[in-house]
A and B are shown apart, each in its own frame.
Chain A
Amino acid sequence: MTATRTETTVAGPLADDEPLGASRGERLTALAQQHGALVALLALSAVASVGFDSFLTGDNLENMAVSSAFLAVVALGMTFVIVTGGIDLSVGSLFALGGVLAAWGSQYGTLVALALPLAVCGLIGLVNGLLIARARLAPFIVTLAAMLLARGVLLAVTDEGSTTYLVDESAFFARLGQEKLLGVGLPVWITALLFVAGAVVLRRTRFGQYVYAVGGNEDAAALMGAPVARTKVAVYTLSGLCAGFAGALNAAWLVSGVTILGSGMELEAIAAVVIGGTLLSGGFGFISGSLVGVLLLKVIQNVINQIGSLDSAYQQVVSGGFLALVVVAQTWLGRRRRMV
């Protein structure tokens, strides 16, 4: 395609002989960013399996996997949002709302049980996206308001929290959460599928490129023809859908729509995404990292539970501290790199 014969003589090659130290540092940083969480996960798991007999049992692992699944789906949507440089604080409420709507809808069949939470949570996500992308309001405040809105809606459909909808255990919908395939719960399989799909979308489609470009340099992305507003609307909608679906899946697992679930989940999801190596300032990140981040948080939680004498609240202290640490490291590394 390219006409090589027009090649004129141009001075010597550029950038081939960059200072070695800079590129080695760069590579180390990238390695730490991509696999730091994985190394931590493996190390902690190794220690835990030596320290606690009950850690490396099939039951415990399966249990951890299933309880990770719901947070993982929420974190999947969050990853897209954070890569665009945004944040979605409404996912915890949307998760709870999704669960309640699914439980309520399950009396009308599996289709309603799945479609209703997706429609409502997707719509709230869409409104978030429109307010952020079109009206240019700050993401944290819009999604914080959406968190409140979703809570309000949840209270409204549950008679101010007094009604808990149950899922008929024999329904097909309940089996989505209960059945096992090859000894592993269905939610885990579904989550795995979603992660593969998410990774393909983020890495291998044009939309994924736009997500990165918008987060990396919004003005440049616009100048290069990326549909900035549409991309933002899409990621917040996606995040809403993920949260709603995770809630529905969780309701199927618990066979009820529990109203108090999901508070603080947005923070866990953000922590997981960031620990997984995604930059909170946007433009860099990967789906697999978020999965590792979720697993790491869950293993920490499991270890804290196993210790027994420790309260489960340590989980929050650890993830908050972890979050601060990772963010500080990211900021420092980012600054050093800019100076190189």
Chain B
Amino acid sequence: MTELSLRGAELDKTRMVRLLQDYGVYAGVVVLFLVNVVVTPNFVSAENFRTQAVQVAPVLIVALGMALAIGSEGVDLSVGSVMALSTSLISLYLGYGPWIAILVAVLGGMLVGLANGSLIAFVGVQPIVATLALMVAGRGLALVLLPQLKDIRDPGMAALGSGGVLGIPYLALIAAALAVAVAFVVRRTTFGRRLLAIGDSRPAAQLAGLPVRRVLIGAYVLSGALAALAGVLATARLTASDPTSLGTLMELSAITAVVVGGTPLSGGRVRIGGTVAGAVLIQLLTATLIKHDLPPSWTQIAQAVVIVAAVYAARERGKR
């Protein structure tokens, strides 16, 4: 309908805005990358790329799950607490071997997701509120299970955190594989199609006979599983379980990556490529500020501004 009423210059402007919303994030990554190549000493080095990749991996994985939640016209604020819960579970079950521990951690995340999804799909609680409750309880549970920081002395976990193949860190490989997998789920599975339809128009999806509740629960369970996995990887990298601080403000970074990547908060659309680029963009921004000796305070302020700007830019699209 809006398309019909727009003409000439107005149309060009809309198209420009749309292009910016859809591809601005890629342009941003390229520009920031080039700027760094020129102004930052030692930026172009394998070691630096490895560091950046390892740092971005957990955020990216969480953002993938967040993209699913946002695509369903919801949001998942509990992801940071799920990471904390995951790191506690790892530390507790490491005695049974790393694989069992990882499995338990991921199951824990899925359980939180199941609780989130049930509150949203069956009880009808708003996503923000439901996941907020689990955000509080999840972190508490993590601290109950493991009251303070504990070192992880497991060769398997250590290898996971710092090893790699052909110089590429495992963390980066896993994140990339998960991004591909989630993109595949969104594009090629019935679940993905239904998720987008539900996020775009819940009444239409309901009338088309889609299993709305099951799909919503699925989205939050996936988000929980991915956040838990991110918690596992972060634990492996730090070789320590720190339920107090692991994953704090993670929900914010993940939402930023998703929104900056062009996924509208109003649901119905999930851009995995954009989400990856969004996460990379924020990582580059942080790295740039740090490399030029700007203190963390500035990084936080800059991130706050970027979020508001991205949401503001996406605002028009959300209204349609």
Contact = CB atoms under 8 A, between A and B. Distances in A.
A and B touch in the complex (CB under 8 A): yes
Contacts of A153: 297, 301
A136 B144 contact: no
Nearest to B301: A152
A138 B311 contact: yes
B67 interface: no
Nearest to A330: B125
A148 B124 contact: no
B299 A316 contact: no
Contacts of A270: 132
Interface in A110-144: 131, 135-138, 140-142, 144
A258 interface: no
B135 A320 contact: yes
A319 B126 contact: no
B128 A87 contact: yes
Contact of B300 (A152, A280, A315, A319): A152
Interface string A171-211: 00000000000000000000000000000000000000000
Interface stretch (A12-20, A66-74, A214-222, A321-329): A321-329
A320 B128 contact: no
Contact of B119 (A145, A318, A319, A324): A324
A156 B297 contact: yes
Interface in B136-161: 136-144, 147
Given A155-B297, A327-B125, A137 B134 contact: no
A48 interface: no
Given A135-B315, A148-B249, A328 B138 contact: no
Given A152-B300, A160-B296, A280-B126, A324 B308 contact: no
In terms of DSSP, what is the predominant structure of the interface of chain A?
Answer: helix
Contact of B133 (A281, A324, A332): A324
B140 A331 contact: no
A166 to B, nearest CB: 21
Given A137-B312, A316-B137, A148 B129 contact: no
Given A137-B312, A146-B304, A328 B123 contact: yes
Interface in B278-320: 295-301, 303-305, 307-308, 311-312, 315
Contact of A316 (B140, B265, B295, B315): B140
Interface string A141-168: 1101111110111111000100000000
- The size class of the interface chain A forms with chain B is 35 or more
B296 A320 contact: no
Q: Which of B115, B132, B311 has the most CB of A within 10 A?
A: B132
Contacts, number: 140
Contacts of B311: 137-138, 141-142
Contacts of B308: 131, 137, 141-142, 145
A317 B135 CA distance: 10
Interface residues of B, number: 47
Given A141-B307, A270-B132, A317-B140, A332 B295 contact: no
B36 interface: no
Given A87-B128, A136-B315, A144-B252, A319 B136 contact: yes
A313 interface: yes
A92 B194 CA distance: 38
Contacts of B134: 320, 324
A25 interface: no
B127 to A, nearest CB: 10
Contacts of A316: 136-137, 139-141, 143
Contacts of B299: 152
A6 B130 CA distance: 54
B162 interface: no
B265 A321 contact: no
A264 B301 CA distance: 19
B57 interface: no
Contact of A311 (B129, B144, B304): B144
Nearest to A334: B124
Contacts of A137: 308, 311-312, 315
B123 A331 contact: yes
B145 to A, nearest CB: 9
A145 B144 contact: no
Nearest to A136: B315
A121 B226 CA distance: 36
Nearest to B308: A145
Contacts of A267: 132, 135-136
Contacts of B52: none
A314 B296 CA distance: 31
A237 to B, nearest CB: 17
A209 to B, nearest CB: 25
25 contacts: A136-B315, A140-B128, A141-B265, A151-B300, A152-B298, A154-B297, A155-B297, A156-B295, A156-B298, A156-B301, A160-B295, A264-B136, A311-B147, A314-B140, A314-B144, A315-B140, A316-B143, A317-B144, A320-B135, A320-B137, A320-B138, A321-B137, A323-B133, A327-B129, A328-B123
Interface of A: 87, 131, 135-138, 140-142, 144-149, 151-156, 160, 263-264, 267, 270-271, 280-281, 311, 313-321, 323-324, 327-328, 331-332, 335
Interface of B: 75, 77, 115, 119, 123-126, 128-130, 132-144, 147, 248-249, 251-252, 255, 259, 265, 295-301, 303-305, 307-308, 311-312, 315
Given A148-B304, A313-B142, A313-B147, 20 more contacts: A141-B311, A146-B304, A147-B252, A148-B252, A152-B299, A154-B297, A267-B132, A281-B126, A311-B144, A311-B147, A316-B139, A316-B140, A317-B144, A320-B135, A321-B137, A327-B129, A328-B119, A328-B123, A331-B123, A331-B124
By Cβ-Cβ distance, the 10 closest A-B pairs, closest first, are: A320-B137, A316-B140, A313-B143, A320-B136, A155-B297, A152-B300, A152-B301, A317-B140, A324-B133, A156-B297
